[in-house]
Amino acid sequence: MKLQRFVLVVLCGMLAVNGYCGSVLGIGFTSSKRALGEDKIFGLDVGLPISKVETVIGLQLGLGQSVVTKRITGLQLSLVNSDGGGDTTNQSVAIQFAAGWSNTQRMAGLELSGLANFGAEFKGLQLSALHNLLEGESDALQITGIWNRQEGVLTGAQIAGAMNTAEQFRGVQISGLYNRIDNRLYADDADRFASPSCGLQLAGGVNTCSGSYTGVQLAGLGNLRCANEEAAKLEAEKTHFTGLQAAGLYNYSPKVVGMQLGLVNRCYTLKGVQLGLLNMVDGSPWKYMPVLNVRF
């Protein structure tokens, strides 16, 4: 009985501190904004159904939802949704786990969810069953069952069962069906020509990339750059593909500096080698060439 009373007194004391002072250790059925002082937890914060504080250094457990509005250093767990970060001056360093979905901003670490991850200015690993989304400039590895998406600049890797998309990319894209790099980050479309993406695109279906690209594209069906053929001449003047395009069926790029390997290869200007059943250089007087085409 004495031990039980002692534990009860300690818990009550921690709840009191948790409620009014920006606690050293917070344990409660529902954690919400504190009445006085900075909303900060050092140690353990438990919420049912919601745990919500500004700063956590330690462990936050929300049996429904875990929310940190500024910065988290440590571990954040929830059954439905983990939401952490947002401090514009201090980056969170944490592991987030949610059976449902996870949100983070300015965090370095691991983001793991049963459904989807959403983040901005993230450094680390995103792992989900369905979908990963990052915004801004990130250094990350994204792994998901269906779709990885980057709205901004991504340095790292995207691995997906179905598709990967990025606005600007430096690294590796691997997917079962489709990879896309837009290179459209600027209000003036001409500005994007100065910032090429680079790396490796590997897809079971199709790889696409607008703007300049340096690296390797490998696809089961085709590699495409610049779908609008009316813009091919402009693209050839201002952008380039440097490296290797290899596909089971079709390769196309306005300007190629390197090699195209496929059943049908096509470009507007060529400085390199085309190897395939039919090779085409639209900007040349000798447009068609079977098997092997070499231009320097």
The C-alpha R_g of the chain, in whole angstroms, comes to 26
Q: What is the pTM of this model?
A: 0.80
Place of tokens 């020509």: 193
Number of domains in the chain: 2
- Single out the residue in 79, 96, 129 at which a domain terminates: 129
Burial class (CB in 10 A: 0-12, 13-18, 19+), 82: buried
Backbone φ and ψ for 7, nearest 5 degrees, come out as -60, -40
Query: Do 153 and 247 fall within a single domain?
Result: yes
Query: Do 45 and 166 fall within a single domain?
Result: no
CB neighbourhood size of 1 (10 A): 5
Query: Do 95 and 237 fall within a single domain?
Result: no
- CB-based contacts of 188, cutoff 8 Å, min separation 6: none
Query: Do 167 and 276 fall within a single domain?
Result: yes
Range of the domain at 270: 144-296
Query: Do 83 and 168 fall within a single domain?
Result: no
Can you read off the two tokens belonging to residue 37?
Answer: 């002082």
Query: Do 71 and 202 fall within a single domain?
Result: no
Query: Do 177 and 286 fall within a single domain?
Result: yes
Query: Do 178 and 288 fall within a single domain?
Result: yes
Please check whether residue 16 lies inside any domain of the structure.
Answer: no
Query: Do 116 and 190 fall within a single domain?
Result: no
Query: Do 111 and 182 fall within a single domain?
Result: no
pLDDT value of residue 140: 94
Please check whether residue 17 lies inside any domain of the structure.
Answer: no
3-state secondary structure of 213: strand
Q: Is 162 left (phi over 0), alpha (psi -120 to 50) or beta?
A: alpha
Q: What share of the chain is helix, strand, coil (3-state, %, to 5)?
A: 10, 60, 25
Closest CA to 185 of 141, 231, 135: 135
pLDDT value of residue 292: 94
Q: Note every long-range contact of 186-191, with CB atoms under 8 Å and residues 24 or more positions apart, other chains counting.
A: 190/238
Please check whether residue 136 lies inside any domain of the structure.
Answer: no
**Could you list the pLDDT tens digit for every one of the 296 residues in the chain?**
555 554 444 444 444 334 333 333 444 333 344 433 446 667 777 766 676 777 777 777 776 666 766 677 778 777 776 666 655 555 667 788 888 878 887 788 898 888 998 888 889 999 999 999 998 889 999 999 999 999 988 999 999 999 999 988 899 999 999 999 987 644 444 444 456 789 999 999 999 988 788 999 999 999 997 644 555 555 555 667 899 999 999 999 988 999 999 999 999 899 999 999 999 998 888 899 999 999 88
CB 235 within 8 A of CB 225: yes
CB 75 within 8 A of CB 89: no
